[in-house]
A = this chain, B = another copy of it.
């Protein structure tokens, strides 16, 4: 197997296409991972969730990591890792334009509200919870792609 680095554009296209991955946040150096749907622009990633451990931890420490991968076989896979900073878009007039833009991107990938519902235990809890719209400002994005070694 040979592994090569993906360039920035490849990484951006990869996460925009997958629109699904895992987000890690950290509190007192204990990391925590959750699978998450998202929508990606070249410099930021939009997400949506109901209140829970993930949102609470990102509010207390905004440094996060998002990873997306596609594993076809053990010799044919790609993985992109993003380091970034959580920023919440509260439902207030000053964030109205940013929320609108984030929601437009999230809606493009369809059924986006189901993601947030996944975090709620019951329908009544979902109705009661206030949805949180956020973005991750990308500080660093890297990717690696593996292919079969023709010499093997």
Interfacial chain B residues near A118, Cβ < 8 Å: 1, 3, 74, 77, 146
10 tightest A-B CB contacts, nearest first: A33-B67, A24-B31, A24-B24, A26-B26, A31-B65, A26-B31, A31-B31, A30-B63, A24-B33, A35-B69
Number of copies of this protein chain within its complex: 2
Asked whether, in the complex, the Cβ of B121 is within 8 Å of the Cβ of A3, the reply is: yes
- Contacts A75-B114, A149-B123 hold; do A83 and B26 have CB atoms under 8 A apart? no
Q: Is A81 an interface residue (CB 8 A)?
A: yes
Chain B residue contacts of A75, Cβ below 8 A: 114
Residues of A within 8 A of B (CB): 1-3, 20, 22, 24-35, 61, 63-67, 69, 71, 74-75, 77, 79, 81, 83, 111, 114-115, 117-118, 120-123, 146, 149
Interface class of chain A by DSSP: strand
> Can you report 7 residue pairs joining A to B where beta carbons are below 8 Å apart?
A3-B121, A22-B67, A24-B26, A24-B32, A30-B63, A34-B67, A35-B71
CB contacts (< 8 Å) of A20 on chain B: these are 71
Q: Which residues of B contact A34 (CB under 8 A)?
A: 67, 79, 81
Beyond the given pairs A29-B63, A32-B65, 19 more chain A to chain B contacts, judged by CB atoms under 8 angstroms and listed by A's residue number, are A1-B117, A1-B118, A3-B121, A22-B33, A24-B24, A24-B65, A26-B29, A27-B29, A31-B31, A31-B64, A32-B83, A33-B67, A33-B81, A34-B81, A35-B69, A35-B77, A74-B111, A74-B115, A123-B149
